[in-house]
Amino acid sequence: MALTNEYIQEKLVEKFNDQVFQFSTDSGILSFESSAEMNLKLLQFLYDEPSLGFTFLTDLCGVNYPDHSGAELVVVYHLHNFIENIRLRYSVSVPVAKPDVFTATKLFESANWMERETYDFFGINFIGHPNLKRILNVDEMDYFPLRKEFPLEDQTRIDKDDEMFGRG
Amino acid sequence: MEQHSHIALPKGSIEKTTTTLNIGPTHPATHGVFQNIMEVDGERVVSTEQTVGYIHRAFEKLAERRPLYQITPITDRLNYCSSPINNMGWHITCERFLKVELPKRVDYLRVIIMELARISDHLICNSIVGVDTGAYTGFLYVMQYRELIYEIYEEVCGSRLTTNIGRIGGFERNFTNTAFTKLEKFLNEYPKVLREFENLFARNRIFMERTQGTGGISAQRAMNYGFTGPNLRAAGVDYDVRVQQPYSSYQDFDFKVPVGTTGDNYDRFLVRNAEMYESISIIKQAYQKVQSFKGAEAEVYHADVPAYYLPKKEDVYTKMEALIWHFKIIMGEIDLPKGQIYSAVEGGNGELGFYLVSDGGRTPFRLHFRRPCFIYYQAFEELIKGGMLSDAVVTMSSLNLIAGELDA
């Protein structure tokens, strides 16, 4: 039996009831959310349950929604079942004041650097991570640059007199 | 004599029995800007710490203020050994997101360019493995054919390395006859050269002894480490995005997915070589399909999507409508639909994914690149631990690490 999005959703709801929510399907990928404390339990279930078998972590990244009060930071997991060839998107959101998420490194070695990158750019604190430090930016940096509170330079600004960059 | 107390050695550095060795940030063995801090006991590697980020350019942040077309040149600079795949991967993501349907001829033309890019990526990686094992000849020999591939890019889009090729919906212009002539020349000459290149290495005793059994990984560990592309296939997992989630009409082509068994440097080399033959066969099939279009169909090189496809320059100067679209596209005045998409293509070194989140504005709200080598480079310590230092160098090059992609 081929694995379908409906079956995954059914299975998850059966196991976790109302702790999983916001099911939707964009461009063929089932996505859903849960609370941040549940992330390891869910990933473990998706990994271990024989009829699901999401054993490959394709991608892990952060997103910042400054307007979602109390859930400003989101961690998005893209999982893949190679045998059934089906993808899944799972996300958890945390408040910017206390951005704590459990690490997935125990399940997936690949999560190590992806979590470091997410920490580096969004300041999400992955609890239990073996080596949570900056990876692409300099260690001395004291802010998290991909958060929306750091805008890029306004391209229409005229106060700069910098002939080297063609703005003179 | 006074003691030189101003030399601040790290604590314990006199007593310890191992040596700390820095390979990189700039070192002939890294083939790019990244660093390895290795702890070696004689010639054996005890541990290593990889440092990346030396050429981080904040692409994901930049992309948050750029309309779709301005992101294409950013993708060039990820895996710069096969930029057309990145460009087209990005355009395919946009097309899927905007629900743009492409004519078959465009798909086939894209396949030709993407497979050429795959060949140029693999031949660099494989010949660099040769260089690192002490054989320079192969590298210089195949370079001629990379040059020919670049000339074909040049005919199609005007540039060579950072190509910025194509548009959302197709190509900026039709392929010229010169492009097809050069493609034919490539298809005629390259298989023989590749055979000769393979003869130099594949059964060469020195090469085999240097690469067999070094840098190996099991299929299970490779999947756990998020390997994709030739590196995962060398470990025995037949995962290929072109087959599993076909894009650009790859389902119309007949090709094999070569796999290895041990996941070591030698298998990676063989898998890449075998893939180049498959790519040649795909290009031949695609070229045949392209030639089978007749009449008006043979002139099709883009989809009819005025809202996303830049109009011809002469029309912009003479026609009102074209001028309006040109202005809207260039100024980024077309709002994207709301939603999110993850779309992946098979890049030169693995699954290159684009995760696009849009809030309905003119630019992506968030764009994340899944860069294959950033993810699998984590496994480097496990691959080389306990081995010889010189094997670590070969492993590094056979992983096909591209600094631009590591750092985004």
B1: pLDDT strictly greater than 50: no
B364: pLDDT strictly greater than 60: yes
Identify the domain containing residue B357 by its residue range: 59-407
pLDDT tens by residue, B136-172: 999 999 999 999 999 999 999 999 999 999 999 999 9
Closest CB from B65, B226, B341 relative to A152 = B65
Are residues B53 and A135, on separate chains, in Cβ contact within 8 Å? Answer: yes
Q: How many CB pairs under 8 A join A and B?
A: 87
DSSP per position, B84-127: HHHHHHHHHHHHHHHT----HHHHHHHHHHHHHHHHHHHHHHHH
pLDDT tens by residue, B275-307: 999 999 999 999 999 999 999 999 999 999 988
Tell me whether residue B207 is in a domain: yes
pLDDT tens by residue, A47-80: 999 999 999 999 999 999 999 999 999 999 999 9
Contacts of A57 in chain B (CB under 8 A): 226
In whole angstroms, what is the distance from residue B236 CA to residue B268 CA? 10
Give the distance, in angstroms, between the CA of residue A141 and the centroid of all CA atoms in the same chain: 22
What is the average pLDDT value for chain B, to the nearest integer? 92
A27: pLDDT strictly greater than 90: no
Tell me whether residue B126 is in a domain: yes
The ipTM value here is: 0.92
Are residues B357 and A112, on separate chains, in Cβ contact within 8 Å? Answer: no
Tell me whether residue B23 is in a domain: no
Tell me whether residue B29 is in a domain: no
pLDDT at B15: 83
Tell me whether residue B216 is in a domain: yes
A88: pLDDT strictly greater than 60: yes
The predicted model gives B64-77 an average pLDDT of: 92
What stretch of H or E contains B290? helix B265-291
pLDDT at A160: 66
In whole angstroms, what is the distance from residue B92 CA to residue B101 CA? 10
Place of tokens 């958060």: A147
Q: B378: distance to nearest CA of chain A, Å?
A: 7
The predicted model gives B167-184 an average pLDDT of: 94
Closest CB from B52, B224, B375 relative to A114 = B375
Contacts of A61 in chain B (CB under 8 A): 355, 368
What stretch of H or E contains B62? helix B59-63
Interface test with A, best of B37, B98, B368 (most A CBs within 10 A): B368
Q: Is the pTM of this model over 0.80?
A: yes
pLDDT at B198: 93
A165: pLDDT strictly greater than 90: no
CATH architecture of A5-151: 2-Layer Sandwich (3.30)
Tell me whether residue B250 is in a domain: yes
Q: A11: distance to nearest CA of chain B, Å?
A: 23
pLDDT at A164: 64
User: B174: number of CA atoms within 13 Å, CB side?
Assistant: 10
Q: B343: distance to nearest CA of chain A, Å?
A: 9
- The answer, yes or no, to whether the previous bond of B25 is cis (omega within 30 of 0) is yes
Are residues B225 and A110, on separate chains, in Cβ contact within 8 Å? Answer: yes
Tell me whether residue B204 is in a domain: yes
Place of tokens 């990158």: A117
Q: CB distance from B224 to chain A under 8 Å?
A: yes
B2: pLDDT strictly greater than 60: no
Contacts of A113 in chain B (CB under 8 A): 374-375, 377-378
Residue of chain B whose alpha carbon sits nearest to that of A104: B224
Q: B404: distance to nearest CA of chain A, Å?
A: 12
Which of these ranges, B115-119, B241-245, B333-337, has the smallest mean pLDDT?
B333-337
B23: pLDDT strictly greater than 80: yes
Q: Helices B104-132 and B389-398 sit at what angle, rounded to 10 degrees?
A: 170
Contacts of A114 in chain B (CB under 8 A): 375
What's the domain count of chain B?
Answer: 1
Are residues B60 and A136, on separate chains, in Cβ contact within 8 Å? Answer: no
Are residues B341 and A27, on separate chains, in Cβ contact within 8 Å? Answer: yes
Please write down the HEC assignment for all residues of B127-155. HHHHHHCCCCHHHHHHHHHHHHHHHHHHH
Q: B203: distance to nearest CA of chain A, Å?
A: 33
pLDDT at B26: 87
The residues spanned by each domain of chain A are 5-151
Percent of chain B with pLDDT over 70: 98
Q: CB distance from B324 to chain A under 8 Å?
A: no
Which of these ranges, A154-163, B197-206, B290-299, B327-336, has the smallest mean pLDDT?
A154-163
User: B71: number of CA atoms within 13 Å, CB side?
Assistant: 32
Interface of B with A in 357-386 (CB under 8 A): 357, 365-366, 368, 370, 374-379
Tell me whether residue B35 is in a domain: no
Look up the CATH number of the domain holding residue B100: 1.10.645.10
